[in-house]
Structure 1
């Protein structure tokens, strides 16, 4: 089974547990690092005001471990954690939530002759992300985003 298919199956397993706990799924990674396979699940509180605790991560891990084990043939390590300060932005609602923040974006196709852009996300208008990059407004269709994450500045 391909990694993307496994990630989708894991998401279907994890979502109901998280909903019951008032926790949201941020991202899932299923990848090989050296000789080892990893399932990494990133979560955050649904109210966004509280931080995920170690106890939250342990509880989620305990609830989902057997179900995930049943769909993966390889030996793997399960990691459940917060997404961190440079969290990925995956869904349109993630971008809406972080309007006003600095974001790094990798695009599927070039816009303004670039595929990598970093700037302040000024607005989300429907499915158009509006960035201020070097004092210039750039509109990026959400479906052109290959990867995006917050940029932490000291």
Structure 2
């Protein structure tokens, strides 16, 4: 159900975002407490996303969602920037993240661990190379459960 909702929302959101010069980073549909949340994360290359961008997209997307009605029941729509810890999902996201700190979780252990925090030193389209403090890991992309940029303090 959740996957069907996110796919339907992606189809509705993409033309709206393209017209605004924005890109779709991620769509989340999940229950928190008694409420369902539909979260749309947007971004752009040239400058950061601002509140006006989020408001415009929210209004236009809300109208499209009301018309298409792909979600049964009530939900709360949130449109925002992905923030400093943006998810890495698409090939271009991984290419842009080379040289940056990342947090990766895998479906199964690699060298005895499933969580990796380090610098993404290389990405060749098939595997990631993560450099942790003292060790380097090769992680096949198909084994990545979740990936995001990581803020190090």
TM-score category (smaller protein): over 0.9
**In structure 1, what is the Cα distance between the partners aligned to 2:89 and 2:39?**
15
Contact 2:105 2:147 in 1 (8 A): yes
1:97 aligns to 2:92 (yes or no): no
Aligned to 1:62: 59
Contact 2:91 2:125 in 1 (8 A): no
Aligned to 1:109: 108
- State the number of aligned residues: 151
Structure 1 runs not aligned, ≥5 long: none
Aligned to 1:133: 132
Aligned to 1:84: 83
* Deviation of 1:8 (Å): 0.8
Structure 2 runs not aligned, ≥5 long: none
* Deviation of 1:133 (Å): 1.7
> Any idea what SS the aligned residue of 1:103 has?
strand
**In structure 1, what is the Cα distance between the partners aligned to 2:10 and 2:62?**
13
Report the aligned-residue RMSD.
1.1
